[in-house]
């Protein structure tokens, strides 16, 4: 789990949301920006994936069919306490989002959100762990056009 | 119509009940007490009359007996020869006249042949012969005698008191004559009321005194009443004797007490008279007192009339009151019913609004996800367009513009759902530091579409250095939204108008004013604008809850809300909320627009 990844390896992000369409398009857009994205449509899947892989950050939707976003957050925090978790929430659910913050989430964003905002948060989360995430993303292949 | 009938039915029943309940005891008391009082009063009156008649009977009997007794004493005291001396007789007559007030007219001594032996008096009767006179025959048949009234030789009504003297084997009669007019006065003394009068009749029904009114037609019946039925007397019909107030007259005739009866008046049809009668002179005469019933019971009739008038007035006022009370009660009932109905409608309306809010929130949540995907997909297209293979053609530029437009519209959708959610969100009562200016900006945005359609310009005149306040933002938002919507509604949409929202710092408070240039609020309405369920909007358009909820929220925050208005000029709502102790708002207020 704690293998020391090379400095130039791409940023690894776990996306958890029950909206497949949303996962799909986000994955494609983020991959294009040099971020390695793993998606999970349910909380259970996400926990399974987290067991095998190490991530720089996780983005979790609050509303899912099988598990509450807060529950997923709690499990993540137990499994990998140092991994920052960003919560996605609908407008008006700030109360739940704030609850998540209290339980160790790094920050929250209201849906629909700009990809740029999300990336910004992810970078901030990485940096909070002492990693130069933005540098890794920008230098990743596929993003060299911009 | 159905309702009107229902209420008028209630009114009728209520009125009937009130009248019945009020009048029944009154009528019962009036009838029962009236009846008892009438009987008590009548028997008192009759008792009194009986007493009066009894007293007079005693007087008359005493007078007659005294006369007779005097005569007896004289006859027994002196030898009969002395009575032949007319000078002595004159002396005796003077003494008797002195004793009996001149009612004794003359004196005479008559022998057993009916020849008057001596005479003293005003008439020249000298040696008159009474041999054939009825009184003489009857007087000779008993020791003492009092005759009926007759005309006699002198041609004047009088009666005779005589006593028999037996001497020298012969019988003499010492007699004196009683003046009818004088005796009449004795009886006439009984005069009570306007029609009360007394008279004496004998067994033949002949008047022994002048009755003063014509009673000849009735005298036969009276005679029967006093002495019982004669063979010669006409049958006493039932109509003549409609009311017995004593035992059967059979007893009365023999026992000779004083008795009172009420009988039909022979002269006035329908009227009745009271007859009080008693026997005199050992049952040979009867003293009869007669009075019109109406006259005798005049006090009762007066009392009854007053009571009837009071009863009538009482009934009238009861009817009037019953009418008023029932009308008023039913009116109240009607109002209460109507209010209840309106309340029900409003509660339903409020419920509808609440579920509408929940629905809106649900929809907003659901729409967020597809919108998010749409925005991201358009972003993905934008990403792809950056690839070299598409080059710089006109179509690529057009697609880029279109993608940008999708993103813009997606953002708009997002904004709309955000607004919907903030509106539908139930009050979050948690207090926090609120910048009123920012909140006003949000609310104005929220209602900007509405203002645009209503042709209303919304101005914000905000104090840049406004103090922060400690309040629940969602509740404050609700209050402001309500006031702004009301202000927009107050403005005629054809003419248009302005709504101005201003803020300023007060002493330890923050003041917010929402002014409109609408139609204004009439004074009568002004007093009630904060009452729950009070609305001037048509049914179904307003719940009448808005301002009362605002009032409740502001009061809860320790603030004040008030309104002033003049009709035709507009209305201004003033809110003042306590400022929090925190630092001042950092000048990030909305610019004046």
Q: Distance between CA atoms of B274 and A101, rounded to whole angstroms? A: 116
Phi-psi region of B391 (alpha: psi -120 to 50; beta: other; left: phi over 0): left
List the beta bridge partners of residue B104: B178
A28 contact residues in B (CB cutoff 8 A) = 380, 383
- What are B255-298's pLDDT values in tens digits? 446 777 777 776 677 788 888 888 877 777 888 888 888 888 88
Phi, psi torsion values for B528, nearest 5 degrees = -110, 5
Phi, psi torsion values for B499, nearest 5 degrees = -120, 125
B436 min Cα distance to partner chain A (Å): 20
Nearest residue to B565 via CA among B513, B534, B523, B535: B523
- Within the 22-81 window of chain A, which residues sit less than 8 Å (CB to CB) from chain B? 22, 25-26, 28-29, 32
- Assess if residue A139 is contained within a domain: no
| A19:B380 CB<8 A | no
Interface test with A, best of B366, B373, B442 (most A CBs within 10 A): B373
Phi, psi torsion values for B330, nearest 5 degrees = -65, -35
| B380:A28 CB<8 A | yes
- Assess if residue A121 is contained within a domain: yes
Nearest-5° Cα angle at A123, A118 to A125:
95
Total domains in the fold of chain A: 1
Q: Distance between CA atoms of B104 and B3, rounded to whole angstroms? A: 94
Closest residue, chain B, to A17 (C-alpha)? B369
Q: Distance between CA atoms of B175 and B168, rounded to whole angstroms? A: 19
- Helix, strand, coil percentages (3-state) for chain B, rounded to 5, are 55, 20, 25
Phi, psi torsion values for B148, nearest 5 degrees = -75, 175
B410 contact residues in A (CB cutoff 8 A) = 112
Q: Distance between CA atoms of B483 and B447, rounded to whole angstroms? A: 11
**Topology of domain B431-584, CATH:** Heat Shock Protein 90 (3.30.565)
- Give the relative orientation of helices B436-446 and B394-424 as an angle to the nearest 10 degrees: 110
| Side-by-side strand order, sheet with A107-111 | A35-40, A11-16, A57-61, A85-90, A107-111
| A92:B368 CB<8 A | no
| B418:A145 CB<8 A | no
ipTM above 0.85, yes or no: no
For chain B, list residues with pLDDT below 70: 212, 229-257, 266-267, 349-350, 353-354, 419, 422-430, 532-533, 538-545, 582-593
Q: Distance between CA atoms of B134 and B141, rounded to whole angstroms? A: 11
Q: Tell me the residue length of chain A.
A: 146
B364 contact residues in A (CB cutoff 8 A) = 90-92
- Assess if residue A127 is contained within a domain: yes
pTM: 0.47
| B365:A115 CB<8 A | no
At B542 the pLDDT is: 58
Q: Where do the domains of chain B lie?
A: 299-390, 431-584
- Report in angstroms the alpha-carbon separations of B181 from B61, B66, B102, B188: 17, 18, 11, 10
List the beta bridge partners of residue B425: none
A112 contact residues in B (CB cutoff 8 A) = 368, 371-372, 375-376, 410, 414
Interface test with A, best of B366, B367, B376, B416 (most A CBs within 10 A): B376
Q: A144 and chain B: CB distance < 8 Å anywhere?
A: no
For chain A, list residues with pLDDT below 50: 1-6, 139-146
B404 contact residues in A (CB cutoff 8 A) = none
- H helical segments located in B267-393: 293-296, 298-385
Cβ atoms of A109 and A118 closer than 8 Å = yes
List the beta bridge partners of residue B146: B161
Residue A98: give its domain's CATH number. Answer: 3.40.50.2300
Containing structural domain, residue A110: 11-133
A60 SS3 class: strand
| B383:A26 CB<8 A | no
At B313 the pLDDT is: 92
In sequence order, the 6+-apart residues with CB closer than 8 A to the CB of B341 are none
Closest residue, chain A, to B423 (C-alpha)? A92
A61 min Cα distance to partner chain B (Å): 11
Phi, psi torsion values for A13, nearest 5 degrees = -125, 135
Q: Provide residues of B within 8 Å CB-CB of chain A.
A: 361, 364-365, 368-369, 371-373, 375-377, 379-380, 383, 386-388, 410, 414, 417-418, 421-422, 424-425, 428
The pair of structure tokens assigned to B297 is 């019971």
């Amino acid at each position: 789990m704690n293998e020391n990844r090379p400095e130039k390896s791409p940023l690894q992000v776990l996306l958890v949301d029950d909206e497949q369409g949303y996962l799909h398009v986000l994955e494609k857009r983020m991959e294009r920006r040099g971020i390695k994205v793993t998606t999970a449509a349910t909380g259970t899947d996400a926990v399974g994936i987290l067991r095998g892989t190490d991530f720089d950050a996780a983005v979790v939707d609050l509303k899912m069919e099988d598990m509450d976003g807060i529950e997923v957050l709690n499990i993540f925090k137990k499994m990998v306490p140092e991994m920052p978790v960003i919560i996605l929430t609908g407008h008006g659910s700030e109360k739940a989002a704030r609850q998540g913050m209290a339980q160790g989430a790094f920050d929250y964003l209201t849906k629909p959100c700009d990809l740029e905002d999300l990336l910004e948060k992810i970078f901030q989360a990485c940096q909070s762990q002492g990693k130069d995430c933005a540098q890794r993303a920008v230098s990743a292949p596929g993003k060299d056009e911009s | 119509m159905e309702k009107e009938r229902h209420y008028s039915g209630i009114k009728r029943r209520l009125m009937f009940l009130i009248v019945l309940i009020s009048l029944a005891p009154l009528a019962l008391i009036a009838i029962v007490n009236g009846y008892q009082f009438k009987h008590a009063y009548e028997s008192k009156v009759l008792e009194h009359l009986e007493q009066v008649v009894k007293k007079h009977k005693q007087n008359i009997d005493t007078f007659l007996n005294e006369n007779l007794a005097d005569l007896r004493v004289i006859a027994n005291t002196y030898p009969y020869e002395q009575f032949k001396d007319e000078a002595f007789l004159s002396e005796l007559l003077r003494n008797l006249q002195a004793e009996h007030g001149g009612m004794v007219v003359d004196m005479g001594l008559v022998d057993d042949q009916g020849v008057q032996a001596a005479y003293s008096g005003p008439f020249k009767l000298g040696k008159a012969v009474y041999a054939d006179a009825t009184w003489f025959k009857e007087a000779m048949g008993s020791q003492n005698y009092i005759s009926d009234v007759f005309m006699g030789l002198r041609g004047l009504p009088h009666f005779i008191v005589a006593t028999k003297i037996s001497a020298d084997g012969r019988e003499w009669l010492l007699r004196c004559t009683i003046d009818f007019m004088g005796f009449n006065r004795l009886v006439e003394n009984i005069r009570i009321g306007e029609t009360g009068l007394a008279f004496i009749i004998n067994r033949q029904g002949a008047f022994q005194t002048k009755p003063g009114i014509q009673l000849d037609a009735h005298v036969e019946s009276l005679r029967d009443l006093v002495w019982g039925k004669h063979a010669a007397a006409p049958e006493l019909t039932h109509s003549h004797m409609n009311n017995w107030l004593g035992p059967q007259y059979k007893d009365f005739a023999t026992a000779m007490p004083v008795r009172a009866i009420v009988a039909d008046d022979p002269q006035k049809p329908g009227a009745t008279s009271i007859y009080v009668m008693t026997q005199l002179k050992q049952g040979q005469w009867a003293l009869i007192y007669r009075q019109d019933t109406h006259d005798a019971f005049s006090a009762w009739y007066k009392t009854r009339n007053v009571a009837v008038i009071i009863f009538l007035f009482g009934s009238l006022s009861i009817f009037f009151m019953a009418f008023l009370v029932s009308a008023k009660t039913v009116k109240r009932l009607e109002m209460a019913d109507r209010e209840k109905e309106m309340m029900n409608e409003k509660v339903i309306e409020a419920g509808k609004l609440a579920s509408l809010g929940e629905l809106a929130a649900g929809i907003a949540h659901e729409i967020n996800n597809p919108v998010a995907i749409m925005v991201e997909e358009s972003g993905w297209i934008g990403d792809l367009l950056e690839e070299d293979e598409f080059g710089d053609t006109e179509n690529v530029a057009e697609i880029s513009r279109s993608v940008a437009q999708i993103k813009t519209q997606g953002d708009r959708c997002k904004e709309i759902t955000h607004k919907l959610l903030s509106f539908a969100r139930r009050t979050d009562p948690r207090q926090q530091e609120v910048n009123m200016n920012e909140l006003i900006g949000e609310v104005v945005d929220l209602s900007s579409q509405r203002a645009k359609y209503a042709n209303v310009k919304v101005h914000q005149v905000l104090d840049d250095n406004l103090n922060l306040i400690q309040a629940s933002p969602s509740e404050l938002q609700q209050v402001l939204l309500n006031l702004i919507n009301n202000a927009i509604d107050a403005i005629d949409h054809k003419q248009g108008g302005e709504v101005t929202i201003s803020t300023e710092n007060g002493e330890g408070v923050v003041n917010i004013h929402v002014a409109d240039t609408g139609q204004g609020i009439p004074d009568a309405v002004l007093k009630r604008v904060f009452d729950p369920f009070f609305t001037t909007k048509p049914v179904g358009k307003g719940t009448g809850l808005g301002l009362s909820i605002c009032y409740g929220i502001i009061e809860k925050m320790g603030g004040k809300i008030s309104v002033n208005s003049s009709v035709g000029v507009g209305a201004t709502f003033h809110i003042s909320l306590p400022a929090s102790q925190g630092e001042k708002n950092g000048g990030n207020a909305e610019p004046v627009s």
